[in-house]
């Protein structure tokens, strides 16, 4: 267990280093922060290669056999997003015009859209998977500015809470520049409380039955979220 905690700590430190390096020459507004005591919402995305589309919205399958588990908890009052990302079967090196290669895009299923948040790229944790965990506080920048304005400029986490299906998360590599894996955000409860509709939930995973979510994707994502957080915390 000590080795697990040490490996996870190294992963987080390394991932934040990626953000710092990738952001060289680009204003990096977001700040690494401690996990807040409460969250206003939580989301999961089970990312797959067949969800990837290119910038024209044309299906462009990613890395065969790869998958990604993306877990996000949000405190929109404080503009903090906490992330737990695990990529399986994704082969670096990463590549993206943004300052990192792991993003949340404003894009509905089957559509392309601009990145709104650039997250630290997952790194090897010793198990064969690539992982990244931590919390960032906005304002957010992505390093992408096609019209001279960064695509993260002015973005609020409340926009995700208002319409999570309008957002996708992905990871890009040199071999699969359009995306190795991609998945749409799906809302899940924290502590058994449906969040994102004005409610606030304490951090925890022992709430009401997750079957109430009504869908195997949400159920699988929420279960993985609880398991992953327990593993990180030892």
Higher-confidence residue of 29 and 61: namely 61
Higher-confidence residue of 195 and 165: namely 165
Q: What is the pLDDT of residues 44-82, one digit of tens each?
A: 999 999 999 999 999 999 999 999 999 999 999 999 999
d(CA 147, CA 26): 15
Asked if 211 and 86 touch (Cβ cutoff 8 Å), the reply is no
Q: How many C-beta atoms surround the C-beta of residue 49 within 10 A?
A: 21
- Residue among 201, 181, 180 nearest 192 (CA): 201
Question: Residue 183 pairs with which residues in a beta bridge?
Answer: 169
- Residue among 66, 25, 33, 223 nearest 138 (CA): 33
Question: Residue 136 pairs with which residues in a beta bridge?
Answer: 32, 81
Give the mean model confidence (pLDDT) for residues 9-33.
Answer: 50
Q: What is the pLDDT of residues 202-219, one digit of tens each?
A: 554 333 333 333 333 333
- Residue among 207, 221, 222 nearest 68 (CA): 221
Q: What is the pLDDT of residues 86-119, one digit of tens each?
A: 999 999 999 999 999 999 999 999 999 999 999 9
Q: What is the pLDDT of residues 130-161, one digit of tens each?
A: 999 999 999 999 999 999 999 999 999 999 99
pLDDT of residue 89: 97
d(CA 89, CA 218): 22
pLDDT classification of 15: cutoffs 50, 70, 90: very low
Q: How many C-beta atoms surround the C-beta of residue 116 within 10 A?
A: 26
């Amino acid at each position: 267990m000590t080795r697990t905690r040490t490996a996870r700590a190294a992963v987080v430190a390394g991932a934040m280093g990626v953000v710092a390096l990738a952001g060289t020459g680009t204003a990096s507004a977001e700040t690494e922060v401690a996990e807040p005591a409460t969250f206003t919402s939580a989301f999961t995305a089970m990312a797959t290669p067949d969800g990837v589309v290119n910038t024209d919205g044309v299906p462009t399958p990613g890395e065969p056999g790869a998958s990604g588990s993306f877990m996000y908890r949000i405190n929109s009052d404080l503009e903090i997003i906490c992330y737990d990302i695990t990529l399986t079967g994704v082969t670096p090196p990463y590549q993206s015009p943004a300052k990192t290669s792991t993003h949340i895009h404003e894009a509905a299923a089957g559509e392309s859209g601009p990145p709104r948040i650039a997250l630290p790229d997952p790194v090897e944790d010793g198990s064969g998977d690539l992982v990244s965990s931590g919390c960032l506080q906005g304002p957010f920048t992505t390093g992408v500015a096609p019209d001279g304005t960064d695509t993260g400029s002015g973005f609020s986490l409340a926009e995700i809470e208002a319409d999570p299906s309008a957002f996708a998360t992905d990871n890009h590599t040199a071999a699969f520049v359009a995306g190795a894996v991609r998945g749409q955000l799906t809302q899940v409860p924290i502590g058994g409380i449906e969040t994102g509709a004005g409610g606030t939930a304490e951090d925890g995973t022992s709430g009401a039955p997750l079957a109430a979510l009504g869908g195997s994707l949400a159920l699988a994502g929420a279960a993985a979220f609880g398991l992953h957080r327990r593993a990180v915390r030892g």
